């Protein structure tokens, strides 16, 4: 049995993946803040999951961790995980030392991409390619080709949120202007539609549905940015499918349907776009599916201790 | 010995690749117009090259053809090769029937990407990834990962020329607005800098060097578009290197240096871009290197007759 853990800014989720591909129930607990607390959260999660699985803590075949920030999958080190209060942490080696079992660490969006690929294709589709488009506070994608994660030269494959798409667009915290993330992300919605609602994007979509002109404009610009991200991923990597995930995927059908309608409109105005079926390639992750935890259980590559 | 043929709009180039990786001299001849003439050009090229190599026409181990347009590498069929006067042609099967040897067909930009990868890495670098950024009349890229061409789901991987980067940009023949190709391509220069010079881009660069304000503006917008293409490729696929090729690569150092200076300027204004060394990843194909013909000789995949 493989254990997958998704350490998020506020919650940590975990699942056990059986050797036959079955998933256990998902377990959630709060995430601690700061490096020691993150290690502690991971250890508590492992203890809890092994108890539920009837194993010793070191009894899992492997343990994979998805975590935000810049992850070096080759060393298990995490950096710049601002939401976790982690500037730098050798998470993989630290956990492996304590648990005596192989521990792999991957960026949470990349892990979620593997999890979404597993959901769509199971273990058996070596020819399929997909991109997981994570719409959270920011925007980033994970690309899976033939069941394997594309990490790229420096681990930044899929960082499409910082591709500018409008020279007159808003300033982005990255130092550029008009980045895709300034249009199609939770932070973009927060900036354009200030709200005290715990789910500002849902409030925005409801206000737009109710006919609020300003809300319609903000919503349409956001959905247009999501459609632009889909087009960019297909025209560059030509993936079979783009799966929308992340916190904003909870918007569900209004987001998926809106994105498809924009892509269909573009296809109607461009024979080239019409020939490549962008709308037909878009999916959305089912509500509640723990993509990053499932993917973390599946992450391949180097692990500690070196086996 | 493998034969590679690059059938271009006006010229056809061919090289022989020895089993030890050595290249023969390049042979060039004019390309005929229309499907029968394209087949005839290919057959004449094969006859000429086999004569030079001291082989029977069917004596090559394999024959690969790079050709513009939409190529189905799985069937050897070419469509929409406007410059060749070809609406549709079963080029692979037609040649294989006549020659009795395996014939592979690939899009010329994708073939050139393989050729550039071979030049950079030889046969032995299965971990390297690169993008070949073709600046000709249009703009497109070919992506090579671990020595293998990324074709994608429908053969459009690398079609980044039709990603819009400016909602207020120029109309593109594809039906969209502000596509990268409307900024960074030969057609973009022809539109912004009308000229009777046989090499309008070179004339433009010389006029800019001489201090012509309008030329400087057109040149800088063009080079900025090339830099944007590099950034887009790295942020999406995170290739080790981006190699500029195509007709405009003849601009040489002024194009390469100008692109690097823009990327360095962006890096100075963005810690994120500064950390990923875009300028250091850009290369330019050496003048005269027959990338598409070399790559055509290396194209893998299905061939006719099925072996």
Q: Mean pLDDT in chain B?
A: 93
Residues of B in contact with A235 (CB under 8 A): 156, 159-160, 162-163
Q: What is the pLDDT at residue A173?
A: 93
Q: What is the pLDDT of residues A188-246, one digit of tens each?
A: 999 999 999 988 999 999 999 999 999 999 999 999 999 999 999 999 999 999 999 99
> A155 — contact with chain B (CB < 8 Å)?
yes
Domains of chain B plus CATH, in order, are 2-112+290-298 (3.30.420.40), 113-284 (3.30.420.40)
Rounded to a whole number, what is the distance in Å from the CA of B178 to chain A's nearest CA?
9
Residues of chain B with confidence (pLDDT) below 50: 302-307
* pLDDT of the residue at B124: 61
Chain B residues with CB-CB distance to A272 below 8 A: 162, 174-175
Rounded mean pLDDT of A29-40? 96
B228 touches chain A (CB under 8 A): yes
DSSP label of B73: T
Separation between Cα atoms, residue B210 and residue A200, nearest integer Å = 55
Euclidean distance between CA atoms A109 and A161, whole angstroms: 12
pLDDT band at A79 (very low <50, low <70, confident <90, very high): very high
Rounded average pLDDT over A93-102:
92
Shortest alpha-carbon distance between residue B166 and chain A (Å): 5
The pLDDT tens digits for A289-305 are: 999 999 999 986 544 44
- Which residues of chain B have a CB within 8 Å of the CB of A141? 236
pLDDT band at A125 (very low <50, low <70, confident <90, very high): low
Residue in chain B closest to A145 (alpha carbons) equals: B152
Contact of A31 with chain B, judged by CB distance below 8 Å, is answered with: no
Contact across the interface for B154 and A276, Cβ inside 8 Å: yes
A126-135 confidence digits (pLDDT tens): 688 999 999 9
Spatial separation of the C-alpha atoms in residues A243 and A82, rounded to whole Å? 26
Binning pLDDT at 50, 70 and 90, where does residue A307 land?
Answer: very low
- Write out the E strands in B129-218: 129-135, 139-145, 148-149
Which phi and psi angles does A292 have, rounded to 5°?
-70, -35
Inter-chain touch A236–B237, beta carbons under 8 Å: yes
Q: Which of A127, A153, A170 to mutate against chain B (most B CBs within 10 Å)?
A: A153
The stretches of chain A forming alpha helices (DSSP H) are: 35-53, 91-99, 108-121, 186-192, 200-209, 213-237, 253-269, 271-274, 278-281, 291-298
Query: B131: closest CA among A141, A110, A237, A147?
Result: A237
B67, B84 Cβ separation under 8 angstroms = yes
State percent of chain A over pLDDT 90. 85
Q: Give the pLDDT score at B6.
A: 97
Check pLDDT > 50 for residue A91: yes
Q: What's the rounded mean pLDDT across residues A238-261?
A: 97
CB-CB under 8 Å, A269 with B159: no
How far apart are the C-alpha atoms of A38 and B100, rounded to whole Å? 65
ipTM of the complex: 0.94
Query: Kind of pairing, strands B62-67 and B2-7?
Result: parallel
């Amino acid at each position: 049995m493989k254990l997958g853990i998704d350490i998020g800014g506020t919650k940590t989720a975990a699942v056990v993946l059986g050797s036959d591909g079955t998933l256990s129930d998902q377990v959630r607990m709060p995430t601690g803040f700061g490096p020691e607390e993150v290690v502690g959260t991971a250890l508590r999660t492992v203890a809890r999951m092994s108890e539920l699985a009837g194993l010793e803590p070191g009894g899992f075949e492997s343990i994979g961790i998805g975590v935000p920030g810049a992850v070096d999958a080759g060393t298990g080190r995490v950096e710049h995980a601002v939401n976790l209060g982690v500037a730098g942490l050798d998470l993989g080696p630290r956990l492996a030392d304590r648990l005596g079992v192989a521990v792999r660490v991957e960026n949470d969006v990349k892990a979620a991409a593997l999890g979404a690929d597993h959901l769509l294709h199971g273990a058996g589709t070596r020819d399929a390619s997909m991109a997981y488009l994570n719409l959270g506070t920011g925007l980033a994608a994970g690309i899976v080709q033939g069941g394997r994660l594309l990490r790229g030269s420096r681990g930044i494959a899929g960082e499409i949120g910082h591709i500018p798409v409008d020279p007159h667009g808003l300033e982005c915290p990255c130092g550029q202007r008009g980045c895709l993330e300034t249009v199609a992300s939770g932070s973009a919605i927060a900036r354009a539609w200030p709200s005290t609602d715990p789910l500002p994007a849902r409030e925005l979509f409801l206000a737009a549905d109710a006919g609020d002109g300003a809300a319609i404009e903000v919503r349409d610009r956001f959905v247009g940015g999501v459609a632009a991200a889909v087009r960019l991923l297909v025209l560059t990597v030509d993936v079979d499918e783009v799966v929308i995930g992340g916190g904003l995927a909870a918007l569900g059908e209004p987001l998926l349907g809106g994105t498809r309608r924009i892509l269909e409109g573009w296809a109607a105005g461009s024979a080239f776009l019409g020939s490549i079926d962008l709308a037909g390639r878009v999916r959305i992750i089912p509500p509640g599916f723990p993509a990053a935890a499932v993917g973390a259980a599946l992450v391949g590559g180097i692990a500690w201790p070196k086996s």
